Amino acid sequence: LSTGSSSEKKQSLFQRSSHSLHSLDIFLFSLIAGLLIYWFFFRKKTEPVPEIKPFTPVTPQIRETSFIEKMKKTNRNIVVFYGSQTGTAEEFANRLAKDAQRYGMKGVAADPEEYDLSELSRLKEIPNSMAVFCMATYGEGDPTDNAQEFYDWMQGTDDDLEGVNFAVFGLGNKTYEHFNATGKYTDKRLAELGGKRVFDLGLGDDDINLEEDFISWKEQFWPAVCELFGVEATGEDSSIRQFELVVHNDINMNQVYTGEMGRLKSFQTQKPPFDSKNPFLATVTGNRKLNKGGNRHLMHIELDITDSKIRYDSGDHVAVYPTNDAAVVNGIGERLGVDLDTVISLKNLDEESNKKHPFPCPTTYRTALTHYLDINNMPRTNVLYELAQYASDPQEQENMRKMASASPEGKALYQSWVLDSERNILAILEDLPSLNPPIDHLCELLPRLQARYYSIASSSKVYPTSIHICAVVIEYTTKTERVFKGVATNWLKNKEVTDNGHKLTVPMYVRRSQFRLPFKPSNPIIMIGPGTGIAPFMGFIRERAWQKEQGKEAGETILYFGCRHKNEDFLYQQELEEFERAGVLTQLNVAFSRDQEHKIYVQHLLKKNKEQLWKLIHSNNAHIYVCGDARNMARDVHTAFYEIAEEVGGLTHTQAVDYFKKLMTKGRYSQDVWS
């Protein structure tokens, strides 16, 4: 276009002045003009050599997803992959990668989601190499979100892993039926594909003492690795720092993180889609106490999700990001004599690492301790081990090191002094007066504060722009006479609807669940949810009421609820009784456990109605839902259903167990339980 327009300008200029020019001048002028035009416009287009630009992006892409190339480039021989939902497996993976240094090896922790795991067969290209997998099991025996692709690959691949050394440590909880299913499958499948198991599968049980299980496993794991590779421990038991401190004395505060999970200033300018790295700030529009008496505080919270484009279904979970108690944060600052408002960055000493900082940086110590670090839970043994060097009293130092060891007396001391006494990091600092760690090292060692998940207590059909939470506030006195306060529940309790005219918000996102109402509204449903386990059923019942309003035929809707006293903690009593009167709830069965001499629980009421229940389950295609405590209630409910199948259905115990397993497989027996 520019060539044409320039020619036209020159042409019109020539026409206007032709009468005063000689024909030779005209010829020369035209020749020169033509050459100039050619030089400037056409020659430029033919000059470049064929471009090779399309090929350049490939190289960085390979570097990003190839853990093999990365290991070669950074001279690593051990890679520790983690499948982590709450951060513990990631923490264990980092500890193992760090431990490698003590045995003269170089390790790296890696998120399987960020790499191409189909390259696993190439690991043998690296001498004395191995892959370790720290795999948590989540939900009903499922892999964690970040390990799903790796899990799918294992199921579908027939790659030959001969010559690939591996070991697996599983993180699970025995109160759940599918204990450590992901760890077990990973270990079994890698061996089936020809991989060499360097050490036995480790099975960590969070119901008892996951930390102790991990320590015991790795104490035997490393000698097996040393034997395989013919190496010995270097004897370097000194602390190895992973991050270096950078203090920002002169920084624009607009560049400093103030609690955001991902993008800087994401809380000021909210942009969908909202997820774990980009939570939505939902305004609190409701906060009321549900119980009428007793010494507990059970609450109903309502969050406004208008304009967020967040969608949810009954049975989904809402994740919220809480903040730590300011009193504990200030207590740490005072005990260590630190200005918490100092702006800092913790920078990874390994420049090749994908994890540049342990939490969003630059930020202040106050923000890190308030938003990013878990300061309320009992510290794991690796934290005590690393901090021991900062205790000036030899006895205190020895005890800290002992608690981090695999010796029986060390384990017993950690169990009694830290776990049973429920000492958080502030309590440890208070009770060990000679311990004075640099606060930046403490921040490096503490795990990340995790999102808390709650079963949504509303139906999106009735409340499309609102999400409801039902929770009990955790608060009690520990053995050391300190008051333990649950981080999230106390934080939510204090979220008043308006705080002096200021609307309070909660950073949140929705996590999808398999806990779903039947596709056909005509299917009967049996809901069992004592205490706050009633939460998802408030959504289910409201949705059933909505279905009836739409003229749909809703099947029998039966609820088994349990609480301590009818006059104290009968949650949502008024609403439930109204739903029963309206015929939405076909049956409302409530077990008041402490209103009589002998305790009555939901499983006792199930047995009382065994004929009706067996008919609904066996003949009418009823769906069963259980929500609440996994350790006792869910197991007792299981047992009650087995007994009903045996007593009314005439099945043997083995047949009864098999019968309900099949119902689970078909999605007709669903659980949303926690321990």
Annotated binding site for NADP(+): 296, 532, 593-594, 599-603, 636
Annotated binding site: 84-89, 136-139, 171-180, 206, 296, 452-455, 470-472, 476, 486-489, 532, 593-594, 599-603, 636, 674
Report yes or no: 514 and 139 within 8 Å, Cβ to Cβ. Answer: yes
State yes or no: is 674 an active-site residue. yes
Ramachandran angles phi, psi of 439, nearest 5°: -65, -30
Beta bridge partners of 109: 80
CB neighbour list of residue 141: distance below 8 Å, 6 or more residues apart: 176, 177, 178, 181, 182
Instruction: Supply 227's token pair.
Output: 């034997």
Per DSSP, which regions of 414-493 are E strands?
452-455, 466-472, 475-477, 483-485
C-alpha to C-alpha distance for 130 and 136, rounded to whole angstroms: 20
CB neighbour list of residue 515: distance below 8 Å, 6 or more residues apart: 315, 316, 455, 536, 625, 627, 670, 671, 672
Catalytic residue (choose from 159, 213, 440, 672): 672
Classify residue 353 by burial, with Cβ atoms within 10 Å: 0-12, 13-18, 19+.
Answer: middle
3-state DSSP call for residue 122?
Answer: helix
How far is Cα of residue 24 from the mean position of the Cα atoms in its chain? 84
The DSSP-derived string for 223-256 is HHHHHHHT-------S----EEEEE-SS--GGGS
Catalytic residue (choose from 455, 459, 460, 513): 455
Q: Which one, of 139, 180, 187, lies nearest residue 161 by Cα?
A: 187
Alpha helices in 337-393 (DSSP H): 365-367, 381-387
Report yes or no: 617 and 606 within 8 Å, Cβ to Cβ. Answer: no
Annotated binding site for FMN: 84-89, 136-139, 171-180, 206
Phi-psi region of 485 (alpha: psi -120 to 50; beta: other; left: phi over 0): beta
State yes or no: is 200 an active-site residue. no
How far is Cα of residue 381 from the mean position of the Cα atoms in its chain? 22
Element holding 505 (H helix, E strand): strand 505-511
C-alpha to C-alpha distance for 635 and 658, rounded to whole angstroms: 15
Phi-psi region of 521 (alpha: psi -120 to 50; beta: other; left: phi over 0): alpha
C-alpha to C-alpha distance for 141 and 151, rounded to whole angstroms: 12
Please name the amino acid found at residue 538.
M
3-state DSSP call for residue 162?
Answer: coil
Q: Which one, of 209, 200, 168, lies nearest residue 403 by Cα?
A: 209
Terminal-to-terminal C-alpha distance of the chain: 71
The alpha carbons of the chain give a radius of gyration, in whole angstroms, of 32
Catalytic residue (choose from 266, 627, 629, 670): 627
State yes or no: is 455 an active-site residue. yes
Annotated binding site for FAD: 452-455, 470-472, 476, 486-489, 674
> Which positions are catalytic?
455, 627, 672, 674
